[in-house]
């Protein structure tokens, strides 16, 4: 009963765009059924390609080994010399071609064609961002705890699957893209907590740290931003901006006493 009421409330929050997206999604689920079949066919084709490769490559190497075992006089026979050179040119080319001939593009085109035929709009980045924004609006309206919401818990009830570290990170990133550092901060903190229990983590810690540090800075906490950026520089020593940002935050702290 409470869950039904909740869904009505949630639906009330969604704006027109999201409703269109929801209708599209409902249609699309049916259209995505063929994807497994196509991917299974692709895997089958790739396995056949690898079997071909193994056969050709082993024959190629086996014949070279035979030639070597005969010794240097092997190639003074012009028929042997011809066969060996042909193997090292024409037949090696064939091995290379089998290696390079990944048929993924053809299979992906089949999937795209199926989607076009089904006449449903496939969601894009803007829809993902819209869905994340709807979650944040819901959170504000009902003052929901970020960790609870990310675990699919609303009003003490489990209403959906929980979000992974990466799912949580993406909600934070949507907030960041809208310069909403308040929500970005909360969701990135939860993302850090989530990946602690993931093996392997669905998102790398250093990716979270950069967003988290910048949001802390934007919310006025330069000292904590500096501390997290130092950790970022330590765990990702080749990060293009980490060291520069450490200096930037340090200069800022020296310039003004916070």
Q: Scan residues 170-199 and list those touching a copy of itself (CB under 8 A).
A: 170-171
Contact string (CB under 8 A) for a copy of itself, positions 33-52, x = contact: x-xx--xx-xx--xx--x--
The helix-helix angle for 181-196 and 165-177 (nearest 10°) equals 170
Which of 18, 147, 236, 253 touches a copy of itself (CB under 8 A)?
18
In the region spanning residues 84 to 143, those forming contacts with a copy of itself, defined by CB under 8 A, are: 84-86, 88-90, 95-96, 99-100, 102, 104-105, 107-108, 122-125, 127-128, 131-132, 134-135, 138
Closest CB 30 distance from a copy of itself, rounded Å: 7
Beta strand ranges found along the chain (DSSP E):
153-154, 157-158
Closest CB 87 distance from a copy of itself, rounded Å: 9
Q: Of 30 and 220, which CB lies nearer to a copy of itself in the complex structure?
A: 30
Interaction between residue 22 and a copy of itself (CB under 8 A): yes
Q: Of 60 and 206, which CB lies nearer to a copy of itself in the complex structure?
A: 60
- Cα separations (Å) of 185 from 172, 182, 214? 7, 5, 9
Q: Of 119 and 125, which CB lies nearer to a copy of itself in the complex structure?
A: 125
Closest CB 92 distance from a copy of itself, rounded Å: 8
Instruction: Note whether 232 and 242 are within 8 A (CB).
Output: yes
Q: Give the tokens for residue 179.
A: 């310069």
Q: Of 22 and 193, which CB lies nearer to a copy of itself in the complex structure?
A: 22
Q: Is the dihedral of CA 244, 249, 250, 256 positive or negative?
A: positive
Strand partners, 154: 157
Interaction between residue 247 and a copy of itself (CB under 8 A): no
Interaction between residue 206 and a copy of itself (CB under 8 A): no
Interface with a copy of itself (CB under 8 A), residue total 81
Q: Of 9 and 252, which CB lies nearer to a copy of itself in the complex structure?
A: 9
Q: Give the tokens for residue 198.
A: 């993931």
User: How many Cα neighbours within 13 Å face the side chain of 226?
Assistant: 13
C-alpha Rg value of the chain to the nearest Å: 28
Q: What gap in Å lies between CA 58 and CA 226, rounded to an integer?
A: 56
């Amino acid at each position: 009963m409470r869950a039904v009421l909740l869904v009505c409330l949630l639906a009330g929050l969604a704006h027109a765009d999201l409703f269109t997206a929801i209708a599209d999604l409902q249609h699309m689920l049916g259209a995505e059924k063929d994807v497994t079949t196509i991917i299974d066919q692709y895997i089958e084709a790739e396995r056949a390609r690898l079997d071909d490769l193994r056969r050709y490559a082993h024959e190629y190497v086996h014949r070279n080994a035979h030639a070597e075992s005969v010794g240097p006089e092997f190639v003074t026979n012009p028929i042997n010399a011809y066969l060996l050179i042909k193997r090292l040119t024409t037949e090696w080319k064939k091995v290379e071609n089998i290696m390079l001939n990944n048929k993924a593009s053809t299979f992906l085109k089949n999937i795209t064609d199926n989607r076009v035929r089904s006449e449903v709009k496939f969601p894009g980045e803007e829809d993902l961002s819209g869905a994340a924004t709807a979650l944040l609006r819901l959170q504000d309206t009902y003052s929901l705890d970020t960790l609870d919401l990310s675990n699919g818990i609303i009003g003490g009830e489990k209403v959906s699957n929980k979000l992974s570290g990466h799912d949580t990170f993406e909600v934070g990133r949507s907030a960041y893209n809208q310069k909403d550092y308040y929500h970005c901060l909360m969701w990135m903190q939860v993302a850090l907590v989530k990946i602690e229990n993931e093996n392997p983590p669905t998102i790398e810690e250093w990716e979270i740290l950069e967003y988290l540090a910048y949001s802390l800075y934007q919310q006025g906490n330069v000292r904590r931003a500096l501390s997290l950026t130092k950790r970022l520089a330590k765990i990702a020593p080749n990060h293009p901006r980490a060291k520069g940002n450490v200096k930037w935050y340090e200069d800022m702290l020296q310039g003004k006493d916070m």
